[in-house]
Structure formats: structure tokens, C-alpha cells
């Protein structure tokens, strides 16, 4: 076993413990285990939300709660329209979803460039993924600020039962924390790629693929959050 580990290290391989039981590296396997456990947490939160909603006689209408977007009031004032007349249901959150999906596409392209050992390509597409994550967090910060200033908090919601606000801020906040963590991890991976640390130590860019798995998971979870709060 020790001989296998030394040989693997010299060859720049990612698995040092003999033959991989799942035909993947140790780091990638542990990432899948982590994502599976994290999926259970999100599932529990969303199932709890669905249970409370199905047992409530009334609930918030997403077409009313999420019809505002940045600069809407300035645009209405400039056009001489009544306040709220230019509201468009789900316009802003659709933009948020597009941004997050696009950032995930950028990370996929970075992984592809990593398989080609193209450092410049990895840096270019990872930059797009990072900027997409920052843009999504900025959009979420605006949405939270708008809801809070219009009287919607963790304990109060003028669109319906307070439980809607409670679950909305809890679940979207938990997801936002994951996005923030993903942005930090992606920035770290970008720096390690830029200074040549990944190539020098490992002779491969599997780390980009591992952080990409986390980013795709965050993107996938948002699909269910979007469905639960904004569409149903």
C-alpha cells in the first residue's frame, strides 16, 4: 500500500489509497458524500415548508409578493405611471435564476478547460462563475431589502401568514449562505490556479471539478427553492 501511494504521488494521481472502490478520487468521493448530507438538510426544510403550506387555509400569492424590481418606482415616475403599475410578476427572480444558471455553465466550461490542462481557460471561465455568484447575491440582497422595507420580516408578512416570511428568509438565507460559501471557494480555487499551485502540486485540475460539483449543487437546489416559493 505504501509503495502504491508513493508511486501514485510521483505520477501526480489524486488517489493515494490503492484502488478506488467507486472509480473516483478520494476528494471527489468525499465531496459527493458532503453534497448528499447537505441535500438531506435542504429536503427537510422544503418538506417542512410544504407541510405548513398545505395545512394553511391562506397563503401568500407569489405574483403579488414578487412583482417588484430595481428602479421600478423611478421608471414609473419618469413615465408618469401610478406606483406599482409597471410591476411584473417574477421578473426579477427570473433574472436571478438566469444569472445563477449561467454561472454554473461558466464553471462547467472551466472544468472542461481543466481536463485539457488549459490554465488560461480555467481562469477565464472561473472568473465568469465567480462574477455570476456575486451578481446573484447582490440581487438577493436587494430582494431581501425590498421585502423588509415593505413590511415583510421573519415574523410578519402582509401578503399572508407569518410562516411564509419565516420559511422564505430561513430557506433562501440558508441557500444564500451556500452561494456565498461557493463564491469564496471558487475565488480560492481561482487564486490557486493563478499562482500555479494546483498544477505544481497535483499536475491536474481536479480541484476545479470538485468545487464545480458544489456549485452545481447550489444551482440545483435553487431550482427547488424557486419552485416552492415563487411558482407554487
Q: Write the CB contacts of 126 (distance below 8 Å, at least 6 apart in sequence).
A: 106, 107, 110, 186, 189, 190, 193, 208
Give Cα separations from 122 to 45, 87, 97, 154 (angstroms). Answer: 35, 40, 23, 40
- Residue-range definition of the domain harbouring residue 221: 25-231
Residue 75 domain-assigned (yes or no):
yes
| Dihedral sign for Cα atoms in the order 166, 167, 170, 173 | negative
CA distance 161 to 223: 24
Residue 6 domain-assigned (yes or no):
no
Q: Which residues of the chain have pLDDT under 70?
A: 1-24, 26, 71-72, 76-87, 158-160, 201-204
Residue 50 domain-assigned (yes or no):
yes
Residue 183 domain-assigned (yes or no):
yes
Residue 156 domain-assigned (yes or no):
yes
Of 223, 220, 225, 217, nearest to 31 by C-alpha is 217
Write down the pLDDT at residue 18: 59
pLDDT tens, position by position, 140-152 = 999 998 888 877 7
pTM: 0.83
Write down the pLDDT at residue 83: 65
Of 215, 220, 32, 223, nearest to 111 by C-alpha is 215
Write down the pLDDT at residue 1: 42
Residue 36 domain-assigned (yes or no):
yes
What is the three-class DSSP state of 140? helix
> What crossing angle do the helices spanning 162-194 and 26-54 adopt, rounded to 10°?
160
Residue 1 domain-assigned (yes or no):
no
Write down the pLDDT at residue 3: 47
Residue 122 domain-assigned (yes or no):
yes
CATH number, domain with residue 169: 1.20.120.80
Host H or E run for residue 196: none
Q: Which segments of 195-205 does DSSP mark as H helices, in order?
A: 197-202
Domain count, the chain: 1
- For 57, the grid coordinates are 387555509
Q: Residue 106 carries which DSSP code?
A: H
Amino acid at each position: 500500500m505504501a509503495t502504491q501511494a508513493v508511486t501514485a504521488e510521483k505520477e501526480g494521481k489524486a488517489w493515494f489509497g490503492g484502488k478506488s472502490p467507486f472509480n473516483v478520487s478520494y476528494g471527489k468521493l468525499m465531496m459527493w458524500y458532503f453534497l448528499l448530507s447537505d441535500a438531506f438538510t435542504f429536503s427537510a426544510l422544503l418538506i417542512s415548508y410544504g407541510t405548513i403550506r398545505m395545512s394553511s387555509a391562506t397563503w401568500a400569492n407569489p405574483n403579488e409578493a414578487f412583482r417588484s424590481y430595481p428602479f421600478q418606482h423611478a421608471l414609473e415616475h419618469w413615465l408618469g405611471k401610478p406606483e406599482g403599475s409597471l410591476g411584473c410578476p417574477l421578473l426579477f427572480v427570473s433574472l436571478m435564476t438566469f444569472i445563477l444558471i449561467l454561472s454554473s455553465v461558466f464553471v462547467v466550461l472551466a472544468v472542461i478547460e481543466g481536463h485539457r490542462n488549459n490554465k488560461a481557460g480555467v481562469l477565464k471561465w472561473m472568473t465568469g462563475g465567480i462574477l455570476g455568484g456575486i451578481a446573484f447575491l447582490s440581487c438577493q440582497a436587494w430582494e431581501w431589502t425590498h421585502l423588509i422595507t415593505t413590511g415583510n420580516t421573519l415574523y410578519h408578512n402582509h401578503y399572508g401568514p407569518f410562516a411564509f416570511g419565516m420559511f422564505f428568509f430561513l430557506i433562501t438565507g440558508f441557500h444564500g449562505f451556500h452561494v456565498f460559501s461557493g463564491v469564496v471557494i471558487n475565488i480560492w480555487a481561482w487564486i490557486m490556479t493563478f499562482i500555479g499551485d494546483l498544477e505544481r502540486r497535483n499536475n491536474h485540475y481536479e480541484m476545479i471539478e470538485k468545487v464545480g460539483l458544489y456549485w452545481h449543487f447550489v444551482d440545483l437546489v435553487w431550482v427547488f427553492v424557486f419552485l416552492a416559493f415563487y411558482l407554487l
